[in-house]
Amino acid sequence: MIELAHWLIYAYLMIRVALPTTASAIPRSISTSPGETISKNHEEEVKRVWRKADAVCFDVDSTVCQDEGIDELAAYLGVGEAVANVTRTAMNGNARFRDALAARLQVMKPNHEQLEQFVNISKPKLTVGIRELVSRLHARGTHVYLVSGGFRRLILPVAELLGIEKSRIYANEILFDKFGKYHGFDTSELTSDSGSKETGKPAVIALLKKMYNYKTVVMVGDGATDVEASPPADAFIGFGGNVIREGVKARAKWYVTDFDVLRKDLDHDESDIDDE
Q: Which amino acid, one-letter code, is at 235? A: A
Residues 6+ positions from 15 with CB-CB distance below 8 Å: none
Which of 142, 131, 164 is CA-nearest to residue 259? 131
CA angle 26, 28, 33 (to 5 degrees): 110
- In whole angstroms, give the CA distance from residue 47 to residue 80: 38
Q: Where are the beta strands (DSSP E) in the chain?
A: 55-58, 143-151, 169-172, 174-176, 182-185, 217-221, 235-239, 254-256
Please say whether the beta carbons of 126 and 65 come within 8 A.
yes
Instruction: Clarify whether 61 is annotated catalytic.
Output: yes
Residues 6+ positions from 59 with CB-CB distance below 8 Å: 147, 148, 201, 219, 220, 221, 222, 223, 225, 226, 239
Q: What are phi and psi of 78, to 5 degrees?
A: 85, 15
Dihedral (Cα; 218, 55, 125, 174), 10-degree rounding? -100
- In whole angstroms, give the CA distance from residue 271 to residue 265: 10
Catalytic residue, candidates 61, 71, 193, 226: 61
Dihedral (Cα; 60, 66, 71, 72), 10-degree rounding? -110
Please say whether the beta carbons of 72 and 236 come within 8 A.
no
Instruction: Clarify whether 59 is annotated catalytic.
Output: yes
Catalytic residue, candidates 59, 71, 222, 234: 59
What residues act catalytically? 59, 61
